[in-house]
Amino acid sequence: MLGLVLRAQSGFFWVDTKSGVLECKLRGRLKKERQSSDIAVIGDEVEVTQVDAKTGVIESVYERRTKLARRSAGSRGLWKEDVLVANVDQVALVFACTSPEFSSRMLDRYLVICEYSELDTLIIANKVDLVEEADAQTLFATYETIGYPVLYTSATSRQGIDALCERLHGRISVVTGRSGVGKSSLLNAVQPDLDLATGAISAALNKGRHITTVAELIPLKVPGGGYVADTPGIREIGLWNIPADEIDIYFREFRPFVNDCYFSGCTHLHEPDCAIRQAVEDGDITMSRYDSYVRLRTDA
């Protein structure tokens, strides 16, 4: 029968099915067939054979419509793909206005990954109650200017919570960002009984009170339904499998200029008559965003 992976940890998968949440393991042949990436992650649609009232076996994993993935360290110093969530409709990038300090470079990395993966993106400027409104808007003004939706929120004052609820309804969303930015507090504000709902899921998973140590897909009890993936804090987000010569097109404000460079295949780092660098001088591209591009291109 068809199932949806709600949680994956240490070779065990908790799958939501018509028979309830089953604790599953992978059929052996799946481990041999798929070695290049994660075999199954939260958000994956799978076929399950039920063994008894509480357990089952994952027979196959359906092809993913979308995914949010990053580069992760593998064995012997090699890089590998780390899929955070599969079949996601939108990515909610949570960044605090303060405590911890806002990191534009991390946000830019996330945005490049989302653009490459063709995922809808929502930037959440959280903890607005701790700063002046003008200061919060200054931090995120660049992103609003280039067309990203920015939602200003506070779990304490409930500013922006209703708007966030509307964005989550009926979709599979992943909420991600650094530790301490307030992801779990926002989700509790969105669904006040979330601890109870998560506890009910976790009871089926043989877990106690919800603590974000691994990613978990949580059903939303709202009109239109939906799921939200609560993820552990991300320390760093590395690009996976994005060609170096394509990074420029994943910066939205670069696109009107990339074909105007004098040299075909311009890296925008040192070539003369570079339209991107000219746009920076003219103020059409911010120096902060250009610096992020330089770092990503150099790393790649």
User: Does residue 211 share a domain with residue 102?
Assistant: yes
Question: What is the per-residue pLDDT for 195?
Answer: 66
Cis status, amide bond into 223, omega within 30 of 0 = no
How close are the terminal C-alpha atoms of the chain, in Å? 42
User: Does residue 142 share a domain with residue 208?
Assistant: yes
Residue 164 is part of a domain; what is its CATH number? 3.40.50.300
User: Does residue 94 share a domain with residue 180?
Assistant: yes
User: Does residue 224 share a domain with residue 103?
Assistant: yes
**Spacing of C-alpha 148 from chain mean position:** 15
Residue 291 is part of a domain; what is its CATH number? 1.10.40.50
Q: Which of 34, 63, 92 is the last residue of a domain?
A: 63
User: Does residue 99 share a domain with residue 45?
Assistant: no
User: Does residue 90 share a domain with residue 42?
Assistant: no
Q: Structural domain of residue 162, as residue ranges?
A: 83-230
Residue 128 falls inside a structural domain: yes
Residue 237 falls inside a structural domain: no
Q: What gap in Å lies between CA 147 and CA 26, rounded to an integer?
A: 42
> In the chain, how many domains are there?
3
Question: What is the per-residue pLDDT for 20?
Answer: 94
Q: How confident is the model at residue 244 (pLDDT cuts 50, 70, 90)?
A: very high
Question: What is the per-residue pLDDT for 236?
Answer: 77
Tens digit of pLDDT for each residue in 74-99? Answer: 656 677 888 999 999 999 999 999 99
Residue type, 131: V
User: Does residue 39 share a domain with residue 90?
Assistant: no
Among 16-20, 209-213, 276-280, the range scoring the smallest mean pLDDT is: 209-213
Closest to 116 (Cα-Cα) out of 152, 79, 71, 78: 71
DSSP state of 234: P
Residue 48 is part of a domain; what is its CATH number? 2.40.50.140
Q: Which residue has the higher pLDDT, 281 or 241?
A: 281
Residue 45 falls inside a structural domain: yes
User: Does residue 89 share a domain with residue 9?
Assistant: no
User: Does residue 253 share a domain with residue 221?
Assistant: no
Residue 212 falls inside a structural domain: yes
Q: In sequence order, what are the residues at sequence separation of 6 or more whose Cβ sits closer than 8 angstroms to the Cβ of residue 136? A: 97, 125, 128, 152
Residue 73 falls inside a structural domain: no
Question: What is the per-residue pLDDT for 192?
Answer: 81
Q: Which of 187, 205, 230 is the last residue of a domain?
A: 230
Cis status, amide bond into 100, omega within 30 of 0 = yes
Tens digit of pLDDT for each residue in 9-64? Answer: 888 999 999 999 999 999 887 766 655 557 899 999 999 999 999 999 999 999 99
Question: What is the per-residue pLDDT for 209?
Answer: 39
Measured CA angle at 177 (ends 176, 182), to 5 deg: 95
Alpha-helical runs (H) found in 94-193? 104-116, 133-145, 161-168, 183-190
What is the model's pTM? Answer: 0.88
Question: What is the per-residue pLDDT for 32?
Answer: 63
DSSP string for residues in 252-270 = GGGTTTGGGSSSTT--SSS
Measured CA angle at 46 (ends 65, 167), to 5 deg: 45
Tens digit of pLDDT for each residue in 145-203? Answer: 999 999 999 999 999 999 999 999 999 999 999 888 989 889 989 888 776 333 334 44
User: Does residue 199 share a domain with residue 169?
Assistant: yes
Residue 181 falls inside a structural domain: yes
Question: What is the per-residue pLDDT for 300?
Answer: 77
Neighbours of 77 (CB within 10 A): 6
Tokens found for residue 289 = 């965003």
Alpha-helical runs (H) found in 146-286? 161-168, 183-190, 194-204, 275-282
Tokens found for residue 262 = 């004098």
Residue 122 falls inside a structural domain: yes
Residue 213 falls inside a structural domain: yes
Q: Are 197 and 209 in contact (CB under 8 A)?
A: no
User: Does residue 220 share a domain with residue 117?
Assistant: yes
User: Does residue 113 share a domain with residue 91?
Assistant: yes
